[in-house]
Structure 1
Amino acid sequence: MKVRSTVVAAGALALCLAAAGCGPDGSEGKGPEKTAAASRTPAAGPTDAVDAGTPVPAPSGSGRTLTQAQLAGVVLRTGEVKGYGIAPLEGTDERGTEEPEDEACRPITAIINGSPEPAPAATVFRTATDTTEEGRDDQTVVTEILTSHPEGGAEELLRSVRDAVRACAEGFRTTSDDGPSTYTGVQALPAAKAGQESFAYRVTGSLEGAEVPLVFHLVRTGPTVVTFYAANFLTAKAPEIPAALVTAQAAKLP
C-alpha cells in the first residue's frame, strides 16, 4: 500500500501541514477547527544546519549522546534505500504550538509539534520520498525526526509515548496559535522490529469532517530515537511507513 499524502510544490516535498491547512483534496482548510493536517510542521532550521554532503565526525559510539554533526552523519542518504530520495525537510522554521487539553496526551502532541519530549540534545529532520512515484498525488513521503538524548531521555520518550497512546485511545483535543484541533482516536499498531525498541501508533484527526490518519513509528537505539511520520490526506486509509526505511535507518544508529 502506498502512503498517500498531499505534498507542497517547493523543496523536499514536505507533507502538507502548513499553518493554513490543507483539505483532503489539497485545498486550503476553511473551517475554524483543524487537526494535525493544519498544524505547522518543523523544517530544516538552526538544529539541522549540517549539509548532507559535508564530512562529519564519526559517531561517538553506542551509549553516548550524539552531537548535532554526529547525528547528521548517521541519517539516511539518497541511494541507501532503493527508490528513495532523502532531503532536509523544508518549509517554515517554526515548530507546532499545539497544547493538549489532557496532560496525559502531551507526549503525542509534542511529536505532532515536531518537538519530542523530553527535549533532545540535538535534532535532525529529513524527508524520504519514493522517486518512482514522482508527480503522483499519492506519492510516498515519510518525515524522519532524529533526536539524541541525555542519559535516560530516549527511554523516557518511548515510555511516555506508549503510556499516552493507552491513555488517549478515545481521542483528545488541542489548542494552538492556529486554533483548536480534534483527534478522534489513538491506537497502537504492529511495528517492524528495529533497534532496541520499536513502537508504532496511529492518530486519527478530523479536518472539515474528513478523517486524516497520521501514522508514527518510533525506533530507539541507545540514546538516539528516530520518529517516522506519514499522513493520508486523500482517503481515510491509514498510510504505511515502509519497513525498508525503518530497518535501514535503524541499522545506521550507533
Structure 2
Amino acid sequence: MKARTAALGAVTVALVVSAVGCGPSDDAKDGKDAKPAPSGGTSHTASTAPDPAASGSAAPTSSGKVLTRAQLAGVALTTGEVRGYDVTPMQGGDETGTERSESAACRPLVAVINGAPEPAPAATVFRTVMDKSEEGEDDQTVVTEILTSHRQDGAQQLMRGVRDAVRACAGGFRTSSPDGPSTYTEVKQLALPGAGQESVAYQVTGSIEGEKVPLVFQLVRTGSTVVTFYVANFLEPTTPKLPAELVAAQAAKLP
C-alpha cells in the first residue's frame, strides 16, 4: 500500500502544513523509540461513511491509564514490529503549527493539522514510519504518528470533536497564520478499517499553487490514548494510502 508522498527524509505534519501553504510546523515532542500495533474495540466506532457508528467486531479492553510521555514512547511502534518499515522519533523541535481556523466548527481539524489535537493532551510522542522498500523514491510511503494521552474524558472529547468537524466542514474551511491564509477545499470521511475502541478516518484537501494536495488522517482511540496517523500525496491529487497493517499494529499496543 503506497501513500504517495513527496517525502524527502522524515515527513512531518509540519511539512504538510507549510507545503500546503498553511501554518508552520508541528514537529516532535518525543524522546524515545517505539511504535504501533493492531485494532479491535469495545464500542468499536469504525471509520466508515457516512456515519462513523459502532461496528461489531471483537473490541479490545483498556486499562484507561493516562500514560506519561515515557510510557507513550514505550507503546509506540518500533522498527521490526511491522515488516518492511523503519520507525524513528520525528525530527524537529517542540513547536506545533500556528494555523487558526476561521470557523469554530472546523477548529478540531485544524488542531490535528497543527499536530496539537484538542483538548490538550497530558503527554505527546511523535514518530515517523517509512517503507524501507521504497527508500529513495519520490513516492515513498511516509506516515506520521502522533500519540497523545488524555485526562478524564479528553480522549473521547477529541474523537467526538473531530467526527463532528468532519461532518460540519465537508465544504472546506479557511485558516490564518503568521505565514498568511490557507484554504482547504474539501473534507470527506473515509471508509478505512477500524481499530482500537474507536476510530475515525477522513481526507482534507489542501492546495499548493493551485494544485490539490490530499491529506489523509486516521485517529484511533483505546482508553485514554489516541493515535493520529497522517499521510499526504504531494505528487498527484489522488487519495494516499495509509497502510492498514501499521494502524492495526499500533492499535494493538495501546493499553
Name the TM-score, length of structure 2 as normaliser: 0.85
Hey, what does 2:33 align to over in structure 1? 52
Q: State yes or no: 1:186 paired with 2:187.
A: yes
With CA pairs under 8 Å and 6+ residues apart, which has the higher RCO, 1 or 2?
A: 2
Q: Deviations over 1:107-154 (max 9, x none)?
A: 000000000000000000001100010100000000000000001000
Aligned partners of 1:92, 1:121: CA distance in 2, in Å? Answer: 18
Q: Deviations over 1:52-99 (max 9, x none)?
A: 28xxxxxxx711101111111000000000100000111343210000
SS in 1 for 2:163: helix
The one-letter code sitting in structure 1 at the alignment partner of 2:249 is A
Name the TM-score, length of structure 1 as normaliser: 0.85
Deviates more, 1:227-236 or 1:86-95: 86-95
The 5 Å alignment of 1:97-136 reads 97-136=98-137
Q: Mind listing any 5+ residue stretches in structure 2 that lack a counterpart?
A: 35-61
Contact 1:6 1:16 in 2 (8 A): no
Aligned partners of 2:129, 2:155: CA distance in 1, in Å? Answer: 23
Aligned partners of 2:5, 2:17: CA distance in 1, in Å? Answer: 16
The one-letter code sitting in structure 2 at the alignment partner of 1:141 is V
Q: Deviations over 1:178-217 (max 9, x none)?
A: 1110000001101212100011000001210100000000
SS in 2 for 1:48: coil
Hey, what does 2:91 align to over in structure 1? 90
Aligned partners of 2:158, 2:197: CA distance in 1, in Å? Answer: 13
Q: State yes or no: 1:195 paired with 2:179.
A: no
Among 26, 51, 76, which residue is 1:42 paired with? 26
Contact 1:64 1:223 in 2 (8 A): yes
Deviation at 1:20, TM superposition (A): 9.6
Deviation at 1:245, TM superposition (A): 0.3
Q: Mind listing any 5+ residue stretches in structure 1 that lack a counterpart?
A: 23-33, 54-60
Contact 2:16 2:232 in 1 (8 A): no
Hey, what does 2:59 align to over in structure 1? none
The 5 Å alignment of 1:161-176 reads 161-176=162-177
Aligned partners of 2:117, 2:227: CA distance in 1, in Å? Answer: 10
Aligned partners of 2:238, 2:120: CA distance in 1, in Å? Answer: 32
Contact 2:108 2:117 in 1 (8 A): yes
CA distance 1:195–1:77, change in 2 (3 Å): same
Contact 1:148 1:225 in 2 (8 A): yes
The one-letter code sitting in structure 1 at the alignment partner of 2:199 is S
The one-letter code sitting in structure 1 at the alignment partner of 2:24 is R
CA distance 1:17–1:6, change in 2 (3 Å): farther
Aligned partners of 1:218, 1:19: CA distance in 2, in Å? Answer: 17
Contact 1:196 1:220 in 2 (8 A): yes
Contact 2:232 2:240 in 1 (8 A): yes
Deviation at 1:41, TM superposition (A): 3.1
The one-letter code sitting in structure 2 at the alignment partner of 1:230 is V
Contact 2:14 2:97 in 1 (8 A): no
Q: State yes or no: 1:226 paired with 2:227.
A: yes
Superposed CA RMSD in Å reads 1.8
SS in 2 for 1:248: helix
Aligned length: 228
Aligned partners of 2:16, 2:136: CA distance in 1, in Å? Answer: 24
The 5 Å alignment of 1:205-216 reads 205-216=206-217
